[in-house]
């Protein structure tokens, strides 16, 4: 594994398969987000997105917590600043959420410990979320006179309007099992099995064509924004037609007929193509 970046607050690495790992590295602050860490994370995500050899981006936290949301000391300083300064700070966080949400690579959150506020936003922006059974989530903003505003659209989309109306208002702690029930987490595993579950999902992503993954992710945003009508039906037909004659599409079909791994597979241990 090569180390791409190792700062005091963010670790970034990529292995030989193209699996990049971005790790929040403020364990003494439970990986809380301050402006410097937010900016660093945006930069890391954009660098990884631009690299053709990166296939999957894994987001994690050092120590016992994924991310405790906004850094209290930073928030205390911002309370004494002007509206304009607070707006700039909030827009930076919004930029992080947008960057992660729309990243052209599959993203996977590996969640341990307590996840609060902005951390729940980050989880909601990831394509796939694997949580330890001891993990917990909380939209705690209203308890300190704030609202889950910047992260709100992403959380609302992840858990739906009814659940959002409850948890935005009550700031209740959400267990890992409950998080899975409401759509915030996809998988829940015991702590000792967490890495194995994550590895299984990463293997599934690496078995897929990179370009097809990118377009499949794009289609999720397309379907969420459009009415199912004749125009959308035609557009989806055009999309699959383009995929069929693409280099990846032809290679995938040929490899299937020849019972060999397609060219994008990094795992060449002789397993049959699914």
- Which of 83, 204, 224 is CA-nearest to residue 154? 224
Residue 97 and residue 195 in one domain? yes
pLDDT tens for the 274 residues of the chain, in order: 665 556 689 999 999 999 999 999 999 999 999 999 999 999 999 999 999 999 999 999 999 999 999 998 999 999 899 999 999 999 999 999 999 999 999 999 999 999 999 999 999 999 999 999 999 999 999 999 999 999 999 999 999 999 999 999 999 999 999 999 999 999 999 999 999 999 999 999 999 999 999 999 999 999 998 899 999 999 999 999 999 999 999 999 999 999 999 999 855 343 333 3
Same domain, 13 and 137: yes
Query: Residue 188 sits in a domain of what CATH number?
Result: 3.90.226.10
The domain containing residue 94 runs over which residues?
Answer: 2-205
| Contact by Cβ (8 Å): 12, 44 | yes
Taking the C-alpha atoms of residue 81 and residue 84, their distance in angstroms, rounded to an integer, is 8
Q: Measured between alpha carbons, how far is 82 from 98 in angstroms, rounded to an integer? A: 24
Residue at which a domain ends, from 142, 176, 205? 205
Number of domains composing the chain: 2
* Cα distance between residue 91 and residue 169, in whole Å: 23
Distances (CA, A) of 233 to 203, 226, 227, 238, 271: 32, 11, 10, 9, 36
């Amino acid at each position: 594994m090569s180390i791409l970046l190792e700062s005091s607050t963010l670790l970034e690495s990529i292995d030989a398969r193209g699996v990049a790992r971005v790790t929040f590295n403020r364990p003494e602050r439970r990986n809380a987000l301050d402006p410097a860490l937010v900016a660093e994370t945006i930069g890391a995500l954009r660098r990884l997105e631009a690299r053709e050899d990166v296939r999957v981006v894994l987001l994690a936290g050092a120590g016992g917590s994924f991310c405790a949301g906004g850094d209290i000391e930073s928030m205390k300083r911002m309370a004494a600043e002007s509206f304009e300064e607070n707006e700039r700070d909030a827009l930076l966080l919004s930029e992080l959420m947008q960057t992660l949400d729309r990243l052209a690579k599959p993203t996977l959150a590996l969640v341990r410990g307590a996840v609060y506020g902005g951390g729940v936003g980050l989880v909601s922006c990831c394509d796939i979320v694997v949580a330890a059974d001891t993990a917990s989530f909380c939209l705690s903003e209203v308890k300190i006179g704030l609202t889950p505003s910047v992260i709100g659209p992403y959380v609302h989309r992840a858990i739906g309007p009814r659940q959002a109306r409850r948890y935005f208002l009550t700031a209740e702690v959400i267990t890992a099992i409950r998080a899975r029930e409401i759509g915030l987490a996809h998988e829940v595993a015991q702590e000792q099995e967490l890495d194995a579950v994550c590895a299984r999902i990463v293997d599934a992503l690496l078995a897929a064509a990179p370009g097809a993954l990118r377009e499949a992710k794009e289609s999720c945003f397309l379907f969420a924004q459009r009415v199912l009508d004749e125009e959308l039906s035609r557009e989806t037909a055009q999309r699959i037609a383009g995929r069929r004659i693409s280099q990846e599409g032809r290679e995938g079909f040929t490899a299937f007929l020849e019972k060999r791994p397609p060219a994008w597979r990094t795992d060449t241990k002789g397993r049959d193509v699914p």
